[in-house]
Copies of this chain bind each other. A is one copy, B any other.
Amino acid sequence: MSDGSDSLCRPLRTDLTRITEAVAAADADAFVAVGDGFDADRRYLTRVPGSDRASAVVVAPSENAGGRAVYCVPSALREQADRQFIAAARAGDDTGFHDSVSREVRAERDGSHMGERAAAAVRDLLGDADEERSLLVPASIPHDAAVYLERAGNELASTDAVATARSLKTDAEIDRLRRVQRAAVAGVARAETVLAESTADDADAAARERPNRRPALRWDGSPLTAERLRRAVNVTLAAEGVGDAGDTAVAVGGSANGRSHSRTDQIRPGETVVVSLSPRGPDGYRGDVTRTFVVDGDGGWERRASVAVEAAREAALAAIEAGVPVATVDGEAAAELAAYGFDPNPGPDESGATRETVRGVGLRRHEAPSNGTNLRPDHVVAVEAGVRDPTAGRVRLGDLVVVTDDGYELLAEHPLGIAPEPR
């Protein structure tokens, strides 16, 4: 994203017939979502960026066209909604695709509650009814909005139609995920370069007192801490035009979440440094990459762990195929770790470091698919493998892939080596 060309892309649009079809399949009358700007369903349905303010989306099939959609917003969001929800959808996405759902924005200044406004939009779209109307809603719709809808004569049933639609990425969405993943890899490359450039800190007092201890690391004139490394990565992400989303993590050593090694402790040679990023691109889509580095390792535990984790990653990727259960991929990685003598399944007390091998990534870092579902083409998933030893350290590798008709494609690549090299 370094040239800013992302801004030249056409804005994303969402095929709302995915929703009208779910309404028809459930023999319901309409779909309603209410949420604040951090609600990923709302962002997916409208493509309007985050805001603290609540808004509501109503989608109903209609007889003469594919459907009708109304987006109720506070008036401060009107222009954004007109631009993203109406104009962008009309323009079509990068591939020129349009759905046949007509869209309308309703703005109100000091509006009534969004549940009340959604109920009014339902009434307008469907007309007065003699009996209860049946609405599909996401299970986690705010309770107050649900109560407004019920009091207005609607019966609510929950649907995972939006989660399913979100999990199946369009070409335009995959393009966005690829861009942000490239920025994420640039961030990892920056961390690796900083570690490769680090040198022994002759001023390290603790090391001078104990002759057997190697001096800690120094970079660019100051002691190298996890916090400095994290900031260096985030500076690269910002220059690439993506945000760190609060999810850039640098975990040093093997203690739980790397936190007993404080962010301001100096990093030492031989310590495992797990760098994990999940930046957010301008359209809200997330990258996800994890690499592990050890400066001047002694070739002991971390070398064996790194061989095992590379093999587990390879086994997981080899198992990625449309139709395969997510749990199967997880099993392949676990079997490989066990074959190398590592515990693939640390108990719940150490679960801070336990992660699913496969999870969907999109507008959220954790979304469908997850365990219990089968992989499908156009799923975008993080594939991760790792081991941890409370004293020796931790090693983890993770990448983002799109499931294709005949396997998978890595959305961006970065070498797996544990000894940092300048990139």
Contacts and interface: CB of A to CB of B under 8 A. Distances in A.
Nearest to A52: B366
A201 to B, nearest CB: 16
B79 A366 contact: no
Interface string A349-384: 101101100000000111100000000000000000
Nearest to A281: B246
Contacts of A257: 79-80
A216 interface: no
A241 interface: yes
A28 to B, nearest CB: 16
A193 interface: no
A227 B7 contact: yes
Interface in A106-125: 107, 109
A235 interface: yes
Interface string A4-30: 100110000000000000000000000
A306 interface: no
A74 to B, nearest CB: 8
A100 interface: no
A114 B75 CA distance: 34
A53 interface: yes
A103 interface: no
State the copy count for this chain.
2
A142 B144 contact: no
Contacts of A50: 246
Given A78-B349, A140-B142, A348-B107, A243 B244 contact: yes
B355 A76 contact: yes
Contacts of A203: none
Interface string A119-155: 0000000000000000001011111111000000000
Contacts of A145: 140, 143
Interface in A199-246: 225, 227-228, 231, 234-235, 237-239, 241, 243-246
Contacts of A354: 75-76
A280 interface: yes
A188 B237 CA distance: 19
Contacts of A79: 256-257, 259, 351-352
A151 B243 CA distance: 42
Contacts of A109: 348, 351
B52 A364 contact: yes
Contact of A8 (B75, B143, B264): B264
Contact of A139 (B142, B227, B246): B142
A77 B227 CA distance: 22
A218 to B, nearest CB: 15
Interface of A: 4, 7-8, 38, 49-50, 52-54, 75-80, 83, 107, 109, 137, 139-146, 156, 158, 225, 227-228, 231, 234-235, 237-239, 241, 243-246, 256-257, 259, 262-264, 280, 348-349, 351-352, 354-355, 364-367
Q: Considering the complex of A and B, which 10 residue pairs feature the smallest CB-CB distances, nearest first?
A: A234-B238, A79-B352, A140-B142, A52-B366, A143-B146, A139-B144, A38-B38, A75-B351, A235-B238, A7-B263
Given A75-B354, A77-B352, A238-B244, 5 more contacts: A140-B144, A142-B142, A227-B241, A235-B235, A243-B244
30 contacts: A4-B231, A7-B227, A52-B365, A52-B367, A75-B351, A75-B354, A76-B352, A77-B352, A78-B348, A78-B351, A78-B352, A79-B256, A79-B352, A80-B352, A83-B259, A107-B351, A109-B348, A139-B144, A140-B142, A141-B143, A142-B142, A143-B146, A143-B156, A227-B241, A231-B239, A231-B241, A235-B238, A235-B239, A238-B238, A243-B244
